[in-house]
Structure 1
Amino acid sequence: MRRAIYLIEEVDFRPMNSRRPLEYLTWLTRYKREDETLERPTLTSGTSIRSRDIDLAGAFYAVGITGHPQFKAVTLWECHGGWDGGWRQMMNIYRGVDDRLFLSDIDDLRFSAFSRPLGAVPGTPSLADVGRSEFYLFESARVRPGAALDYLEAVRAERAPLMAEHGHELVGLYEVLFCDTEVVTIWGVSLDDHLRTQRARDAALGLDDEAEPDDRLLGWAKRARDHLDGPWRETLLAPFPGCRLSPAPVRG
């Protein structure tokens, strides 16, 4: 079985115009739905590459109150066929630096975008098998050089069962490729389970005497430090209607 390859992109919009993320996510989900009818990948002016094998798995509005810059969108792309499938098709558009690379229907809509290729590791489910959640927990962590796979295996073996007890469904365990110091994990969760988990952690810290504590949440955080070497952050994402990971119907 080939390794599953993904791409995650974080997009910022400035000046702070709250309509720009909506315009971008609406445009993105609409044109990717159109790609489902294509027989072969095509490079076009205005929309870059069109392909069913470069699949928009998740289009999210970043919940700013959880630590994202406002306003921000996050997208998760699945490269069907791995390196020789969707990834090859994306790379092909850079061969010869075609003029069509520099034309886009969304020119001047985005302020900046930061993309990272992701490689799935053992324990990552197929996206076809995961549920559709109200929210997604997005973790980006800096690990010791070379410790990415060790950290992700610890998450699979220890943290994933614990998070499952707290209503979090594992969506992805990803090594950030072309570097050796970053990992990404994604979990689906309901609002109620998110709140219960935070209260269980507070209770374990002695900060909430009305909730049931779970000391294992604190224990995991300590053991994770065996692999970490810098910032660790979890933030929440709200799935945009029309993407594969959204429970909401398509808009329009």
Structure 2
Amino acid sequence: MRRGVHLLEEVEFHPMNSRRPLEYLRWLTDYKREDDRLAEGAHELTEGMSIRSREIDLVGAFYAVGITGHPQFKVVTLWDCHGGWDGGWRQMLEIYDDVKENLFLSDIDDLRFSAFSRPLGAAPGSPALADVLAEGYAAPLYLFESAEVRPGAALDYLEAVREERAPMLADHGHRLVGLYEVQFCDTEVVTLWGTDIDAHLGLQRARDAALGMDDEVEADHRLVSWRKRAREFLSGPWRENLLSPYPGSKLAPRD
């Protein structure tokens, strides 16, 4: 089995115009729905629409919940490169061959302010996104973690997350969706979890109780112990934020 290869992109919109994220999410999900009807392996670089391919699969399109620490306004997208390095990833690289003129044309010119992409490699034990979609799983909220680890410690940290943290978060209504090593560097990881509002609030209160700051709910001291354990691997910033899936994207609940 080949390693899963994915792309995570964070897009920001300035000045603060709340319609721009909506326009972008609508445009993106509409054109990728059209791509799902393409023949397997068919791909091309088109004027205004970038690359058209079903192997570069928009799995998640999310609006960032700004009150959890994101810049406002922000969109996060998660892509699955079918076939791994030799599949969708190769197709994305091919658009840079000869630096064609249509590489510089886009229907969304001047809509985005900035975009930052992270190439991701699935860590051992990470759920396959294709299997998650085939199951029909979707959550109303997703917990997105990015963390800076000691050089070379990415896979060790993700293994500890899978073995130690995932079971405790499952007890609080959080399902592991992805464990990812950021590629082309050795100091960054990304994890993704499905959850909902009640589970999110319950998790925060259980941690507060473990810290002695909430005497109305049961404490879960594992949550505090995990943060100490995680520091064995971390060397810099660690952050978690919430994402809300855009209706019509594949990881969004269907009516």
TM-score for the superposition, normalised by structure 1: 0.98
- How far residue 37 of structure 1 moved from its aligned partner, in angstroms, is 1.4
Matched, 1:46 2:52: no
Give the equivalent residue in structure 2 for 1:172. 178
Alignment match of 1:126 (pick from 84, 107, 128): 128
Give the Cα separation in 1 of the matches to 2:242 and 2:57.
22
Instruction: Return the letter of the residue paired with 1:139.
Output: E
1:105 is aligned, of 98, 104, 107, to 107
Find the aligned partners of 1:114 and 1:148 in 2 and give their Cα distance: 20
Please state if 1:77 is matched with 2:82: no
What's the counterpart of residue 160 of structure 2?
154
Where structure 1 has 5 or more consecutive residues not aligned to the other structure, the ranges are: none
Separation in 2, partners of 1:129, 1:167: 20
> Equivalent residue for 2:5?
5
Deviation at 1:236, TM superposition (A): 0.2
User: Letter of the aligned partner of 1:44 in structure 2?
Assistant: T
Q: What whole-Å deviation, never above 9, does each CA across 1:158-177 have from its counterpart, x for those lacking one?
A: 00111111110000000000
Tell me the secondary structure at the aligned position of residue 151 of structure 2. Answer: coil
C-alpha deviation, 1:190, in angstroms = 1.1
Counterpart CA distance in 2 for 1:46 and 1:124 is: 35
Deviations 1:94-150 (A, max 9, x none): 011011100000000000000010000111112243320010000000000110010
2:218 is paired with a residue whose SS is coil
Residues in 1 aligned to 2:187 and 2:246: alpha-carbon distance in whole angstroms: 30
Q: Any idea what SS the aligned residue of 1:230 has?
A: strand
Q: Within 1, Cα distance between the matches of 2:76 and 2:154?
A: 22
Equivalent residue letter for 1:28: L
Take 1:64 and 1:214, find their aligned partners in 2: how far apart are those partners?
A: 27
Q: Which runs of 5+ in 2 are unaligned?
A: none
Paired residue type of 1:152: L
Take 1:146 and 1:159, find their aligned partners in 2: how far apart are those partners? 20
Does 2:29 align with 1:29?
yes
Amino acid at match of 1:173: L
What's 1:65 paired with? 67
1:229-240 to 2 correspondences below 5 Å = 229-240=235-246
The amino acid of 2:158's aligned partner reads L
**Which of the numbers 225, 240, 245 marks the counterpart of 2:251?**
245
> Which one-letter code corresponds to 2:14 in the other structure?
R
1:132-143 matches, cutoff 5 A: 132-143=138-149
Does the residue aligned with 2:36 lie in a helix, a strand or coil? helix
SS of alignment partner, residue 145 of structure 2? strand
Q: Deviations over 1:24-61 (max 9, x none)?
A: 00000000000011121011000010000000000000
C-alpha distance in structure 2 between counterparts of 1:36 and 1:203, whole Å:
47
Q: What root-mean-square deviation, in Å, do the aligned CA atoms of Structure 1 and Structure 2 show? A: 0.7
CA distance in 2, matches of 1:242, 1:178: 32
Residue identity opposite 1:172 in structure 2: G
Normalising to structure 2: TM-score of the pair?
Answer: 0.96
Separation in structure 2 between the aligned mates of residue 42 and residue 167 of structure 1, nearest angstrom: 41
* SS of residue in 2 equivalent to 1:122: coil
Counterpart in 1 of 2:17?
A: 17
Amino acid at match of 2:220: D
Q: 1:203-251 deviations in whole A, cap 9, x for unaligned?
A: 00000010110000000000000000010000000000111100045xx
Give the share of equivalent positions with the same residue, in percent.
73
